[in-house]
Amino acid sequence: MKQVYADYNATYPCSDQHLDTVTRVIRKCQGNPSSIHSFGRDAKLLLEQSRSQVAALFGAPRQNVFFTSGATEANNLALHSSIANAKAMMIQTLPHVVITEGEHPSILAPVEAMVASQSLQCDFAKLTPSGRVDIEDLLQLIRPESTFVSFFFVNSETGAIHDIGNLTRQIKSSFPKVHIHVDCVQGLGKLDLTWLHTSEIDSASGSAHKLGGLKGIGCLYHKKPRTISPMIYGGGQEMSMRSGTENMPGLISFGLRAKEIIHSPTWWKPGVKVCTKLYEQIQNTKGIYIHGDFKTSTQTTLNLHFEDLSVEKVMLHFDTCGIAISRGSACSSGSSNASRTLLSMGYSEDIAKNSLRISFGADSIPEHADFIATQIQALIEGNT
């Protein structure tokens, strides 16, 4: 059976060459980076080399980047630190944050949990029909006492891109003290972020497995690392910002991919060619509705629904044909809840529950678009 992987937004598969390189490097260096003997020093050198390589993606010094178990932890750490610092200065009022309706669950869930426990106030900024944040709505929601504002660089469900540099400047011009965090997971390594350290963005998250590295390793960029309030205490690793023995295979993988990407920034562009081809093949197909504005997205992602077809039936058909796709964010793709992103973009709850995501990457080929288009047509014809 033909196998087509079209779920790159969920995870970017590692190449065999990358896995071989990581294995070769880790075999030569198996010490604990906290140990003071030569094995430990060699591991520590590799760790800091990887940190420098990942920091280069943000255009930042290595001391501004911390390794985490993934972007979920990085997002939680940024939020937790900002709220902890605010609470230390506030006596009576609760900290106030503003996030967009299209945020990843790793931002939405902790915010909602703190709101439910009455330890936080939050306002949610709407998205436009294109999938971008409604800037006027966002600016109106921020207060002089607001602590934390978070928005995505690239939306994981639709591929919509925010002009995060311009958005940050607008916010900081009116609210210079608010902490601005950007979830850069879907954009890091694909779109240029080497200017980020010189911007007014305060923190940003990234993940290795979204750019062809190993799973289980992420990072937090922070402009003022001394203000980070740890969530995990212990042996004082990661400059005491995130204790626990470091994931050496993961961070080596992250560093290697970062180095490769800096030298080959267009590595992901084959996905644009394939996705554009599929878009052109199906955009005028009766019974298919594509969400958002493809032209202002990464053009590697299609979010769509079928008229009169449940997402379960569509997913089953694609899986039977050997095509890997998903429903929205990978972290919630098993949920039958309506997509909060699509609801905020103005789609009905029925559409938001029955939409799927097709995403392409470096190893995608034009034949993949052809095969998926053929199966889409088969689904529509079978439903008429």
Look at residue 384 and tell me whether its pLDDT is greater than 80.
Answer: no
> Which of 362, 355, 372, 364 is CA-nearest to residue 279?
372
* 3 state SS of 216: coil
Look at residue 18 and tell me whether its pLDDT is greater than 80.
Answer: yes
Look at residue 306 and tell me whether its pLDDT is greater than 90.
Answer: yes
> What mean pLDDT comes out for the span 139-147?
94
Look at residue 334 and tell me whether its pLDDT is greater than 60.
Answer: no
In the β-sheet with 301-306, what is the strand arrangement from edge to edge? Answer: 288-290, 301-306, 355-359
Look at residue 330 and tell me whether its pLDDT is greater than 60.
Answer: no
CATH numbers and ranges of domains, the chain = 4-14+267-382 (3.90.1150.10), 16-263 (3.40.640.10)
Dist CA 354 CA 319 (whole Å): 16
DSSP 263-309: H-TTTTTHHHHHHHHHHHHHTT-TTEEE-S-GGGB-SSEEEEEETT-
- Calculate the alpha carbon distances from 111 to 62, 82, 163, 256, 328 in Å: 29, 12, 24, 33, 20
pLDDT in tens, 180-223: 999 999 999 999 999 999 999 999 999 999 999 999 999 999 99
CA 181 distance to own-chain centroid: 12
Look at residue 327 and tell me whether its pLDDT is greater than 70.
Answer: yes
Phi, psi for 323 (deg, rounded to 5): -105, 125
Give the pLDDT band (50/70/90) at residue 119: confident
Supply the pLDDT for residue 383: 67
> Which of 100, 102, 126, 155 is CA-nearest to residue 301?
155
H or E element that contains 77: helix 71-89
Beta bridge partners of 305: 289, 355
> What mean pLDDT comes out for the span 149-169?
96
* β-bridge pairing 4-5 and 96-100: unpaired
Percent of the chain whose pLDDT exceeds 90 = 88
Structure tokens at 41: 């020093």
Supply the pLDDT for residue 308: 87
Structure tokens at 23: 């294995």
Supply the pLDDT for residue 175: 95
Supply the pLDDT for residue 240: 87
Give the pLDDT band (50/70/90) at residue 335: low
Task: Give yes or no for a contact between 107 and 346, defined as CB atoms under 8 angstroms apart.
Answer: no
Look at residue 347 and tell me whether its pLDDT is greater than 80.
Answer: yes
Ranked by mean pLDDT, the top range of 110-119, 186-195, 374-383 is 186-195
Query: Has this prediction a pTM greater than 0.75?
Result: yes
Poorest-confidence range of 67-81, 83-97, 159-173, 369-383? 83-97
Matching residue, tokens 């605010």? 86
Supply the pLDDT for residue 85: 86
pLDDT in tens, 237-270: 998 889 999 999 999 999 999 999 999 999 999 9
Calculate helix-pair angle for 38-57, 248-263, nearest 10 degrees.
Answer: 40
